[in-house]
Amino acid sequence: MNISHASVLPEEVLHYLGVDDTEHLLLDATVGEGGHSYAFLERFPNLRVIGLDADSRILGRARERLARFGDRVELLHTWFDAYFEREPEAGRPTRILFDLGVSSFHFKASGGGFSFREDEPLDMRLNHDELEDAADLVNNLPQDELAAVIYRYGEERYSRRIAAAVVRRRAESPLRSSAELADLVYHAVPAPYRHGRIHPATRTFQALRIAVNRELERIERALAGAIDQLVPGGVIGVIAFHSLEDRIVKRMFREKSKACTCPPEMPICKCEGVPVLELITRKPVFASETEREHNPASRTARLRVARKC
Ligand SMILES: C[S@@+](CC[C@H](N)C(=O)[O-])C[C@H]1O[C@@H](n2cnc3c(N)ncnc32)[C@H](O)[C@@H]1O
């Protein structure tokens, strides 16, 4: 099997989430092609893994790759927020890992319209049980809502121009492919922006993908549930790839690591709260120079780790 995705921060993740030689359960909330899980199973012989993924195709690839570890691995096709809303049937994890976003498999080999470099149907759904895809959004959202999506989830400063160009275009015929959308964005933005550091459609594609899969809402819900499920003393690590994701992680970790949760106007503490998390990494951990050189996807990766009190 050809592996499309190189796991980011592999040594750092093993270091911060590593276990002793007693029995442990790692909940890999974003198992993808199984890269991180494989490394954990190989390094720690008493570790079991439950791996989740919203995409059943990539889960099939993880199943094949992790088959040699037999019943030490269980893989489940589910959104991670849905998983963490339920009672943990297979036991509470001692380690939880989130490696957010999509895999290189999605860009290079899924045929799902995630990449502006390919000419594929404009889909972008991770989970094909969901009905609404990226073509539905670009062809149906009112212009101001489309601009808001591109601005909010892509932090794209030309969101209004892009949304206006989409609406003009779809009045003639609906947009159907990733290449059509990439071309439209290219021509909608000012000429100097076309030759910047990143392709001018990068942010629009990121925004649509986040909106189609409701990625940010899911992270927020899942983190709270994951911290509840983790055993006391257990460790949670989250790898984010852009500031929208990282902001959610940072805020959640900060709130859960505070003792007092009284409103700021309260002169003395009435809640007698105790912190739920102890921050292990005060600042996010970034990839080394060497990793950045070899794996460009790692350049924006940042890992935050915390221990449940
Ligand atoms: C960056 S990749 C994980 C790569 C993996 N850690 C490895 O080393 O091979 C992220 C994976 O998370 C999945 N994913 C993203 N959001 C999800 C969600 N809300 N629920 C479940 N899976 C999700 C994607 O389908 C993708 O396969």
State residue 134's pLDDT score: 98
**Does the C-beta of 54 come closer than 6 Å to ligand 1?**
yes
**Does the C-beta of 200 come closer than 6 Å to ligand 1?**
no
Question: How many other C-beta atoms lie within 10 A of the C-beta of residue 42?
Answer: 12
DSSP element (H, E) containing 53: strand 47-53
**Does the C-beta of 116 come closer than 6 Å to ligand 1?**
no
Mutate to test the pocket of ligand 1, among 1, 3, 28, 30 (most ligand atoms within 8 A of CB): 30
pLDDT digits (tens, 9 = 90+) for 237-252: 999 999 999 999 999 9
Q: What value, to the nearest 5°, has the Cα angle with vertex 159 and ends 114 and 135?
A: 40
State residue 97's pLDDT score: 98
State residue 129's pLDDT score: 95
What CA–CA distance (Å, rounded) separates 144 from 300? 29
| CA 4–ligand 1 middle distance (angstroms) | 13
- Which protein residue has the closest C-alpha to ligand 1 atom 9? 35
Where do the domains of the chain lie?
10-99+215-308, 111-213
Mutate to test the pocket of ligand 1, among 81, 126, 215 (most ligand atoms within 8 A of CB): 126
CB 277 within 8 A of CB 253: yes
State residue 19's pLDDT score: 96
CATH T-level assignment (fold) for domain 111-213? DNA polymerase; domain 1 (1.10.150)
Paired tokens of 73? 């691995």
| CA 264–ligand 1 middle distance (angstroms) | 37
Look at residues 145, 158, 143 and name the one whose alpha carbon lies nearest to residue 204.
158
CB 33 within 8 A of CB 58: yes
**Does the C-beta of 112 come closer than 6 Å to ligand 1?**
no
Mutate to test the pocket of ligand 1, among 42, 78, 103 (most ligand atoms within 8 A of CB): 103
- Which protein residue has the closest C-alpha to ligand 1 atom 15? 101
**End-to-end Cα, the chain, rounded Å:** 41
Architecture of domain 10-99+215-308: 3-Layer(aba) Sandwich (3.40)
DSSP calls for 66-121: HGGGGGGEEEEES-HHHHHHS--TT---SEEEEE-S--HHHHHTS-SS--TTS--B
What CA–CA distance (Å, rounded) separates 237 from 26? 11
State residue 234's pLDDT score: 98
**Does the C-beta of 17 come closer than 6 Å to ligand 1?**
no
Residues in the chain with pLDDT values less than 70: none
Q: Which atom of ligand 1 is nearest to the CA of 97?
A: 6
- Which protein residue has the closest C-alpha to ligand 1 atom 24? 102
**Does the C-beta of 8 come closer than 6 Å to ligand 1?**
no
